[in-house]
Chain A
């Protein structure tokens, strides 16, 4: 465990799935040199298979104090080969069909975007943005026989030492979130670095700073004046993803409230469309409690009363979402 922990809160009620975070990260870090297929930040549709495909069933994480076996996803079948489009021909020569993929992908990030689950009119989905969780008990770190992965004392950021990594990929298999990626060009593993070069200069991670929905707060968990402490510790309104994996993630999600179900006559019921069991699997047993808290605080705000939690989540001023010093 590090001395301090920098953490992120993502409010799933505000995520519109625009992928601005994905693009911010990609442009900053992964659009070159063997990283083209990697999405250190991805936004997937839940329910869904996600990215890489079926990551939740890919093993890894902890069973008590023992690492569970995990699998290494395949580029073509689980991550998805970067799709090559025939831009040259389409834009400058003119072809029919006009714009087409040059390869035939089996899977890509967002392959099942917006599919979700349920039958009309009770279909449902929400967006689930995912980055490395900079875990308190990182399975990736424990799995590396070379000690090439480390967790920084000063902020808990988990990094792969590129000079020590020899591309064995035990970390890729061990991370239950599949947030370590293998770079075949350099024969090394790489992952989200929580934008540490930005953070060290007091600038928030690119994915958080660029987020148009203002869903991402960044701060130290122990900083009582910071937004993350207030939402996670004081209000207990955000929860880690798949806590059952045992890695103790430091990305926290404000769980999504659900639209109500319609009955056979088309009347609105009080049943929620997103099954609570589904949310409990993702965010643990406290999710129902948190959803009630959110509803109550939202109702207060609706009545014109004060709600510190709602004010925090609304994020009137973007700069107040980040306190990283």
Chain B
């Protein structure tokens, strides 16, 4: 067994093209996929609930020139996401839980009131929108965050400009004087203004003397100083706090951080290619070189040969995974205290992919055919395994889970995420991988009867 293993490593070393293909290509691919995955697809589906009463809503919010109408806000939101109408809050939350939509955005009843108060300059509380997200998948969780944050940032920017302008208007009146309509009351009052106060006081200054004049001088100095200083207020107002705040609730799910997820995808893809191609090719090579019959004539049992090939795949995949982690360590920081956990995931994932590779190698007659079969089988499974819930119908998603559960990619991905961060169930996925390893080993062993 030891000699066979050394022999295979030696053959691998003598095949620079194959080695490059098996190691460099998956790493490049994995890194590309890692980055691509962190971008995510366009237009996530988001449920939208409007609790604001229709009458109030139709009035909108008077912000002078631009105005702020809900319709506009809807339009802007729906440019970025696919809006799904929900009747009420409960329905929206259920939709999120079921994975029908990626998130829900709720405008609460008092949203417009709070916002009006803010703009009138009399409100203390930020107007709040409520967001519900299902974060069982970090890609889409971030997607929802991104879209909603972008929309709110834009809305907040426009609103705070309006608020600043409004407040500056008040200040102008305070400094220069004029007519002022009291917010919410609608009454108009005439305001004298600091400048006119100063001038008026200057005018009567000559008529005073002694103590009275001193007091008057103090008031004049104050009015002048106040007027000058308030002129700087516009700069300060630029930093008005965000008038709309987001209150986020995670509905269900247990999310690995995106970095971890991207790393897990990268490792899983790499292991998938390196291990299945290597093991399938190495087994098919025994037939291509006619050595299979010679070996299994008492030199090694068929099961022993399979174990050797699976061992070869597991060793090589662990080595490649370590290289990959080492490279990734340059970009992200890994929690090396968790090494035993993710090492277990890497080894079992490698073994499961190797067992699957051995089954492919038994089915294929030549190295080339085995490589083609390995690609043809593993790629679609990997893509299927990466389909997030909520992007396809529920029944189709259930079918996808069943199909991908029969292959090592999804449990490998989940085990790696669980090993790298404490999200998900590591033990369950390791068990799943162990079962798949045994199942594919048994399949390959049965196939080997017809191999000679």
A in complex with B: no
Q: Which residues of A contact B (CB under 8 A)?
A: none
